[in-house]
Amino acid sequence: MLSKSQAKLFFLGGTIVTFAVFLILSWTSLSNEVPKRTHEENLTPQVVRGKQIWEANNCMGCHTILGEGAYYAPELTKVYERRGEGYIKAALMSKTPWSPRGRKMVAYGFKEEDANDVVAFLKWIGETDLNGFPPKPDLKK
Amino acid sequence: MKYKSQKVAYWFFALSMLLLSLQIIYGFIMGFAHMGFDNLHSVIPFNTARAVHTNLLVVWLLSGFMGAAYYIIPEESENELVSVKLAYAQLISLAIVGVIAIVGYHFNYWEGRKFLEIPRPLDYLVVVNVLTFLGIIVTTLFKGKKRTTTSLVLTMGLVFAALLYLPGMIWFDNQTMDSFFRWWVVHLWVEGVWELIMGGILAFLLIKITGVDREVIEKWLYVIVGLTFISGILGTGHHYYYIGVGKVWLIVGGIFSALEPLAFLGMALFAIAMYRKGEKKHPNKIALSWTLGTAIVSFVGAGLLGLAHTIPQVNMYTHGTLVTAMHGHLAFWGAYAMIVLAIISYTLPNLTGRKYYDTTVGLLAFWLSNIGMLGMTVAFGVAGVAQVYLERKVGLEFGDVQKEIQVHFFILICCATMFTTGIGMFIYEFFKHGRPSDEALIK
Ligand code: HEM
Ligand code: HEM
Ligand SMILES: [Fe+2]
């Protein structure tokens, strides 16, 4: 039967090996794949400002982006493609809670330039290669 | 209890109980908002409620783990804590940082990254706090007479958890990179190092409750934490399918994360086997229920319900829907909430000297909270599957789908009420035990 020292070896050995593989895979994805898939050349200062506004207001506390966040409001990775710039700016700049389908969004009342930054961020993220996410609704004609 | 300084644990557990109650209140706010009653929107918008709900969860669990360590390490290493004063200072500063963060969330003061909302300046305070905690635990352990496997695994889990907090504090311009490293914290915590903490506490409880030989229990503990890391580290890949980091993770993440339930299965079989093997039965029935309960429910919530959406082809559809919330609830409850409630149930009589070992209220607390949480899981699950179908298959608008599934949140709230009744009883029992007392010392 397995002894305690063998069990310990299994734990330590397994951890070290899988962690090493994990680091190598992470390194190769981050250095080779991510810059291409996310079009890093388009990551302008405006996009970065947009991301800062996105975080400062915890948009992820209601919405998802890249499928991560909360489930109270729509997925926004492809929102630029789906709704276009005008719609998004209207939602962001509205002084009363935006609620096209009943559920309310916080009334941020952003300045136009801040709204533009967020739009730039959403446009940039919409172009990321996500292996096909979000899926196309296959029952829709 | 055998060591005076173990009494510190009580106050960490008391803080846990307080934060758990607050967490539940914010859960109700969100449940009602999902049902269409968002009357609090202008005061506590959904994102505030959510940040408070999930951060309170993490803080009360951490406070519970810390309390567990302050109880277990002296007993295992046969040594008083090196500084009780510092431990109390650490408790108070933890509570203060927590309160500032929670209040800040009501005033748009946060860093909108799921689960890591604590703003950067407060992060540094968290780091200082955790270093103090680890300093006390590690010196107590190494100055003590014994270094048992149980105490080493528990301490290792706590140290790694602290280290893994750091990747979450780096700023990235690129959202994909941001998300990539956010998972080093979130995933590697709950499906990695926290399992060491859980395993350590579980082993301690089993040694005390079943009386099975320590060598046998600790051997299996190594096997379980070995399985955890072997599957869990590369299993991080299940969060990398659709965030823009390459196709290799579809395969690596798919295979290794599908192995993750083995560690939880191991935990369940281990607890049941040791229970059946043990001859001396400890009279603390309530602690026994929670101990076996955590091993079994974590397998269902984390293992089975995790497996249900971890395959890339499934996750493509369920990613970021209420299906995730279903799994998140039962997994956190089974694995981490229940292990904290188990160690509290075991230690309270020892700390206070009052032996409420099988009160009706205590057992009802166990059953009501568990059945309530299972019901909530089903409600989230039904809502989630309907959402996936209508939104991702049929292609209806998000908002229209949410109206269709509102009714499931009524069921959620009914079950949450049952759950809350159970938790209320647990907290009632907690305070009925009274304060820790030196009279409870065993010479
Ligand atoms: C009265 C009880 C509770 C209610 C009504 C409740 C309700 C909710 C709701 C509505 C959400 C937000 C989902 C969204 O983003 O739209 C949520 C999130 C969450 N809750 Fe609870 N909750 C309760 C108790 C708990 C407990 C006891 C735990 C842990 C053991 C917990 C863990 C979580 C977690 C981890 C999330 C984030 C889930 C995710 O992002 O996938 N909740 N809860
Ligand atoms: C106690 C252990 C676990 C806890 C506390 C836990 C909790 C959670 C939480 C809170 C999330 C939502 C994260 C977010 O979107 O930010 C999540 C996601 C996920 N979990 Fe777990 N989990 C555990 C174990 C597992 C296991 C063992 C598996 C696989 C077998 C698994 C599979 C998944 C998957 C695939 C997702 C991503 C869902 C999505 O794409 O939206 N989990 N888990
Ligand atoms: Fe995970």
Of all residues in chain B, the one with the smallest CA distance to A138 is: B393
> What is the rounded average pLDDT for all residues in chain A?
96
Contact state of B242 with A132 under an 8 Å Cβ cutoff: yes
Q: Are residues A58 and A10 in the same domain?
A: no
Atom of ligand 2 nearest to the CA of B231: 27
Euclidean distance between CA atoms B372 and B369, whole angstroms: 5
Give ligand 1 pocket residues (Cβ under 6 A).
A 70-72; B 24, 27-28, 30-31, 34, 50, 53-54, 57, 324-325, 328-329, 332-333, 337, 412, 416, 419-420
Nearest residue, CB atoms, A54 vs list B112, B114, B236: B112
For residue B248, the chain A residues in CB contact (below 8 A) are 25, 28-29
Residues pairing with A69 in the sheet: A64
**Which of B191, B224, B240, B315 is the pocket-test mutation for ligand 2 (most atoms within 8 Å of CB)?**
B191
> DSSP string spanning A23-55?
HHHHHHIIIIIHHHHTTGGG--HHHHHHHHHHH
CB B204 within 8 A of CB B346: no
> Looking at this protein, which amino acid is placed at residue B292?
L
Residue with tokens 């499928």: A67
Could you tell me if the CB of B260 is within 6 A of ligand 2? Answer: yes
Q: Are residues A110 and A137 in the same domain?
A: yes
CB B48 within 8 A of CB B75: no
Nearest residue, CB atoms, B403 vs list A26, A40, A102: A102
**A64-65 and A68-69 strand pairing:** antiparallel
Q: Are residues A115 and A136 in the same domain?
A: yes
CATH number at residue A63: 1.10.760.10
- State which residues of chain A have pLDDT below 70: 141
- Picking from B194, B377, B399, the residue whose alpha carbon sits closest to that of residue B297 is B377
CB B411 within 8 A of CB B379: yes
Partner A contacted by B321 (CB < 8 A): yes
- Picking from A112, A107, A104, A119, the residue whose alpha carbon sits closest to that of residue A57 is A107
**Which of B46, B48, B53, B319 is the pocket-test mutation for ligand 1 (most atoms within 8 Å of CB)?**
B53
Partner A contacted by B72 (CB < 8 A): no
Q: Supply the DSSP symbol for A59.
A: G
Q: Are residues A7 and A71 in the same domain?
A: no
Partner A contacted by B244 (CB < 8 A): yes
Contact state of A133 with B48 under an 8 Å Cβ cutoff: no
Q: How many CA atoms lie within 13 A of B49 on its CB side?
A: 25
- Residue-wise over A36-53: b if at least 16 C-beta within 10 A, else e? ebbeeeebeebbbbbbbb
Let me know if B411 is exposed, middle or buried by CB neighbors in 10 A (0-12, 13-18, 19+): middle
Contact state of A128 with B244 under an 8 Å Cβ cutoff: yes
- Picking from B303, B298, B313, B302, the residue whose alpha carbon sits closest to that of residue B254 is B313
Range of the domain at A4: 1-37
Q: Are residues A80 and A137 in the same domain?
A: yes
- The answer for residues whose C-beta is within 8 angstroms of residue B179's C-beta and 6 or more apart is A66, A68, B239, B243
Structure tokens belonging to residue B41: 């929107």
Euclidean distance between CA atoms B84 and B8, whole angstroms: 7
For residue A68, the chain B residues in CB contact (below 8 A) are 114, 179, 182, 243, 320
- The answer for residues whose C-beta is within 8 angstroms of residue B365's C-beta and 6 or more apart is B422, B423, B425, B426, B428, B429
**Nearest listed ligand to the Cα of residue B305:** 2
Partner A contacted by B243 (CB < 8 A): yes
Q: Are residues A88 and A127 in the same domain?
A: yes
Of all residues in chain A, the one with the smallest CA distance to B395 is: A137
pLDDT score of B280:
76
Q: Are residues A95 and A111 in the same domain?
A: yes
- Picking from B332, B345, B289, B298, the residue whose alpha carbon sits closest to that of residue B13 is B345
Question: How would you write chain B as a 3-class SS string?
Answer: CCCHHHHHHHHHHHHHHHHHHHHHHHHHHHHHHHHCCCCCCCCCCHHHHHHHHHHHHHHHHHHHHHHHHHHHHHHHHCCCCCCHHHHHHHHHHHHHHHHHHHHHHCCCCCCCCCCCCCCHHHHHHHHHHHHHHHHHHHHHHHHCCCCCHHHHHHHHHHHHHHHHHHHHHCCCCCHHHHHHHHHHHHHHHHHHHHHHHHHHHHHHHHHHHHCCCHHHHHHHHHHHHHHHHHHHHHHHHHHCCCCCCCCHHHHHHHHHHHHCHHHHHHHHHHHHHHHHHCCCCCCCHHHHHHHHHHHHHHHHHHHHHHHCCCCHHHHHHHCCCHHHHHHHHHHHHHHHHHHHHHHHHHHHHHHHCCCCCCCHHHHHHHHHHHHHHHHHHHHHHHHHHHHHHHHHHHCCCHHHHHHHCHHHHHHHHHHHHHHHHHHHHHHHHHHHCCCCCHHHCCC
Q: Are residues A76 and A117 in the same domain?
A: yes
Structure tokens belonging to residue B321: 């829907």
Q: Are residues A115 and A68 in the same domain?
A: yes
Q: Is the dihedral of CA B314, B320, B323, B325 positive or negative?
A: positive
Task: List phi, psi (to 5°) of B414.
Answer: -60, -50
- Picking from B19, B24, B23, B101, the residue whose alpha carbon sits closest to that of residue B65 is B19
CA–CA distance from A107 to each of A46, A94, A115, B34 (Å)? Answer: 22, 6, 13, 19
Helix (H) or strand (E) holding A89: helix A79-93
Euclidean distance between the first and the last CA atom of chain B, given in angstroms as a whole number: 9
Distance B280 CA to ligand 3 centre (A): 38
**Which of B239, B324, B387 is the pocket-test mutation for ligand 2 (most atoms within 8 Å of CB)?**
B324
Quote the distance between the C-alpha of residue A6 and its chain's center.
43
Structure tokens belonging to residue B326: 């279903």
- Chain A with chain B: Cβ pairs closer than 8 A: 211
| ipTM entry | 0.97
Q: Are residues A30 and A99 in the same domain?
A: no
For residue A125, the chain B residues in CB contact (below 8 A) are 175
Contact state of B394 with A15 under an 8 Å Cβ cutoff: no
Residues pairing with A64 in the sheet: A69, A75
Q: Are residues A60 and A106 in the same domain?
A: yes
| Alpha-carbon distance B303 to nearest alpha carbon in chain A (angstroms) | 20
- Protein residue whose Cα sits closest to atom 26 of ligand 2: B306
> Looking at this protein, which amino acid is placed at residue A69?
G
pLDDT in tens, chain B (443 residues): 999 999 999 999 999 999 999 999 999 999 999 999 999 999 999 999 999 999 999 999 999 999 999 999 999 999 999 999 999 999 999 999 999 999 999 999 999 999 999 999 999 999 999 999 999 999 999 999 999 999 999 999 999 999 999 999 999 999 999 999 999 999 999 999 999 999 999 999 999 999 999 999 999 999 999 999 999 999 999 999 999 999 999 999 999 999 999 999 999 999 999 999 988 789 999 999 999 999 999 999 999 999 999 999 999 999 999 999 999 999 999 999 999 999 999 999 999 999 999 999 999 999 999 999 999 999 999 999 999 999 999 999 999 999 999 999 999 999 999 999 999 999 999 999 999 999 999 87
Q: Supply the DSSP symbol for A60.
A: G
CB A39 within 8 A of CB B173: no
Q: Are residues A24 and A77 in the same domain?
A: no
Euclidean distance between CA atoms A128 and B128, whole angstroms: 38
Number of domains in chain A: 2
